[in-house]
Structures are given as C-alpha cells and as structure tokens.
C-alpha cells in the first residue's frame, strides 16, 4: 500500500505523477491520461521562460491548462532568473497549482541554450533562479533534475538541498546523469541520497513501466511517489495499473469499448482546442497509435492514419476502425 503525499497543501493522491514530456504531455494528452485514472498530478511539457515572457504564441499554447485538470504543474526552463520569475508569475496567473523548474532534460534545444540539465553544472545560477522564482509566486515551486552532469559529478543531493533551503516543496529525480542520455538504467538506489538530504517529498523517475518497477523504485529510493513518462506513451493505462496495484487490487485490461471512448474523448478535446496545425496532427497520429496497439488490424489503422492529410481524415479512420471492431464483436456473440 502506498500513501498520498503533499506538495505544501496540495495532495498528490495517488502518489503517481505523469512526467513532463515535450511533444507529448499537452493539454489534450494530460486530460486523456487523467480520465483513465491513477494520475495524482500531471506536469506540462517544458515551456520556455523566454517564450512565455516574450508573448510567443507557441509557448503560451504549451502552457495552456484545462479548468478541470487539477492538480497540474507547469514546467518552465531558462537561464535568466528575471525571466524565469516573470514566467512563473504568468503560470500562477493562468491557474497552475505548481511551477516546476526543469534542471533535468538533456533535450538539445534546452542544453544548447544552457538551460535544462546544463544548470546542474552551474549550482550558483540554479540557486539564483530558485530564489527569483520562489519570490515571484505564492503557489509551490518544485524542481526536476537528473543525478548530475556525469558520474564524476553527482550533485543532485546538494542541488536538491539548496533548492529546498530556498523554498522548493518537492524534488523529482531521474536516476541517470545528463551524459547517460537514456543509456543503461535509472539508478533508483542513488535517489535515496536525495531523499535523505531533504525534508520535502521526492519523486523517483526513470524506467518505471508498471507496478513491479514502481514498487521496486520506491523501495530502493525511499521516495514518496513515482513519476512515469515513456511507459504512458506505449500504454496510456500505465498510471491506472500502478494505482490499482498500490490499492492492492487487480487491474482489468481495458475493453475495446473503453479504448474507443477514451480515444473519442481525446479527439473531442483536440477538436475543441481547435489547433489543426502540423504539429498537432503529428501528436494525434501518435496517440491513435498508442491506443490501437495490440488490437486486430491496428497496424493497418496506423498506416492509414499516418497517410491522412488532416484531422478529419484521422477521425474518420478511427471511427471506421472501431465500427469494424464492434461488428466483429457482434458477429462473435
Ligand atoms: C519525448 C520526451 C520528452 C521529454 N520532455 C521532457 C520535458 O519537457 N521536461 C522534462 O523535465 N523532462 C522531459 N523528458 C524526460 C521525462 O520527463 C523523464 O524524466 C524521462 O523520460 C525518464 O522517465 P521514463 O523512463 O518514465 O520515461 C522527456 C522525455 C521524453 C521521452
């Protein structure tokens, strides 16, 4: 049994967090995952503090949250403390429950701008950013990081300690270094040092793909909750599965009807958002792929969807796919 934890006054119940993923955890995807259960907190994809404060529409869109999705955290990145503070205040203004600072993503676009995990090598600047953001908001500030820059420079415990002394209310740690990229495996046991250095909740992250890994990661790290990323892309029910195990219950695999409803809910959400650009279309195609995985004729659906020219084309193929499954079901009965 695993118990909920608090980020300041905010309950994370169950103690399972959807990880920030650029190009994936947009509003429609977060709403979808939340609707499937097991999500105690969701984090947006990282948003540029420069983009937010310079009124770049694409950045604003990445920070959009739904009035119904709480608690939700907006993750920001950047290396200018003033801009980070302004961006954090903006996030609070649009209804975020939490502002998360990205110190941990090795994405090229972030590290070349010397933000993201590059900040693990500049603890003084990182501390300036923590202070500026903390002063700018009244909602909780949290930080996500890797273990360090490389195995010679494991400084997550020190940076976490500094962040908490300034006011951070939760620390999430991916158990790899920046130089690891995604090689090897997440060192959950090394996150224990972070847990022991601070007195706010810690999330263990990296390579958790289901209940078995979630239990093991918690046991080895001593963390208060798990953060899960890539596994949710290949199985959107991953968080629900883990939550069920935490409650000591068996998880029932989603029926075709449950998949149809969830995917329809997602497509409706995208339609309401009304952004039918290329980027959105790519994301929609990806999500359709996750949802149909393992079903009869799924490869055919994915092929068709990949060739579809627009959102309406994708929707028509999805409808056709599930109508076909419904018919198969009736015939089988
Ligand atoms: C496609 C993708 C995009 C990501 N984008 C972000 C991001 O915006 N911010 C961040 O802190 N981490 C980002 N990450 C890292 C994840 O949040 C997570 O730390 C990492 O994938 C390890 O967890 P997992 O094994 O559960 O996926 C991203 C990872 C992936 C695969």
β-pair partners for 202 = 171
Residue 45 in contact with ligand 1 by CB distance below 6 A: yes
pLDDT by 10s per residue, the chain, length 333: 679 999 999 999 999 999 999 989 999 999 999 999 999 999 999 999 999 999 899 999 999 999 889 999 999 999 999 999 999 999 999 999 999 999 855 455 544 444 455 788 899 999 999 999 999 999 999 999 999 999 999 999 999 999 999 999 999 999 999 989 999 999 999 999 999 999 999 999 999 999 999 999 999 999 999 999 999 998 999 999 999 999 999 999 998 888 899 999 999 999 988 888 898 999 999 999 988 888 888 999 999 999 999 999 999 999 999 888 766 655 544
- Provide the residue ranges of all domains of the chain, joining segments of one domain with +: 5-246, 256-332
Whether residue 74 contacts residue 47, with contact meaning beta carbons closer than 8 Å, is answered with: yes
Structure tokens, 113: 């701008």
Domain 5-246 CATH superfamily: Aldolase class I (3.20.20.70)
CA 221 to the chain's CA centroid: 20
Taking the CA of residue 230 as reference, the ligand 1 atom at the shortest distance is: 27
Q: Which residue's CA is the closest to the ligand 1 atom numbered 28?
A: 21
Q: Which residue's CA is the closest to the ligand 1 atom numbered 12?
A: 105
pLDDT at 276: 84
Taking the CA of residue 174 as reference, the ligand 1 atom at the shortest distance is: 19
Q: What are the residues whose beta carbons fall under 8 Å from the beta carbon of 204, sequence distance 6 or more?
A: 173, 175, 188, 191, 217, 218, 220, 221, 223, 225, 226, 227
The angle that helices 278-292 and 298-307 make with each other, rounded to 10 degrees, is: 180
Tell me 112's DSSP state: T
pLDDT at 112: 45
Residue 75 in contact with ligand 1 by CB distance below 6 A: yes
229 CA from centroid of ligand 1 (Å) = 6
pLDDT at 56: 93
Pocket test for ligand 1, best of 76, 105, 187, 209 (most atoms within 8 A of CB): 105
User: What is the C-alpha separation between 46 and 305, in angstroms, rounded?
Assistant: 27
Which residues are catalytically annotated?
Answer: 105
User: What is the C-alpha separation between 333 and 323, in angstroms, rounded?
Assistant: 15
The burial of 77, by beta-carbon neighbours within 10 Å (0-12 exposed, 13-18 middle, 19 or more buried), is given as buried
């Amino acid at each position: 049994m695993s118990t909920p934890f608090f980020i300041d006054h905010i309950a994370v119940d169950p103690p399972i967090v959807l990880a920030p993923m650029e190009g994936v955890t947009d509003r429609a995807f977060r709403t979808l995952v939340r609707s499937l259960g097991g999500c105690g907190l969701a984090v947006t994809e990282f948003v540029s503090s420069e983009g937010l404060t310079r009124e770049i529409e694409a950045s604003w869109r990445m920070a959009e949250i739904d009035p119904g999705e709480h608690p939700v955290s907006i993750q920001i990145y950047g290396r200018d403390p003033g801009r980070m503070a302004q961006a954090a205040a903006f996030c609070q203004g649009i209804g975020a429950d939490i502002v998360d600072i990205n110190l941990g993503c090795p994405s090229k676009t972030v590290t070349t701008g010397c933000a993201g995990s590059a900040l693990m090598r500049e603890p003084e600047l990182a501390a300036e950013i923590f202070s500026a953001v903390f002063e700018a908001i009244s909602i909780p500030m949290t930080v996500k990081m890797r273990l360090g820059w490389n195995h010679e420079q494991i400084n997550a415990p020190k940076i976490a300690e500094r962040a908490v002394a300034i006011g951070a209310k939760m620390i999430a740690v991916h158990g790899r270094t920046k130089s690891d990229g995604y090689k090897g495996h997440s060192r959950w046991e090394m996150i224990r040092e972070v847990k022991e250095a601070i007195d706010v909740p810690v999330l263990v992250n990296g390579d958790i793909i289901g209940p078995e890994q979630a239990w093991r990661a918690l046991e080895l790290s001593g963390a208060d909750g798990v953060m899960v990323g890539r596994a949710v892309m290949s199985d959107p029910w991953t968080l629900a599965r883990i939550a069920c195990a935490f409650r000591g219950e068996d998880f029932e695999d989603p029926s075709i009807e449950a998949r149809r409803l969830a995917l329809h809910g997602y497509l409706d959400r995208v339609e309401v958002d009304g952004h039918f650009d290329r980027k959105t279309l790519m994301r929609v195609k990806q999500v359709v792929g996750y949802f149909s995985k393992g079903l009869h004729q799924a490869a055919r659906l994915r092929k068709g969807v990949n060739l579809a020219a627009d959102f309406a084309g994708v929707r028509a193929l999805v409808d056709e796919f599930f109508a076909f499954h419904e018919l198969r079901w009736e015939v089988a009965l």
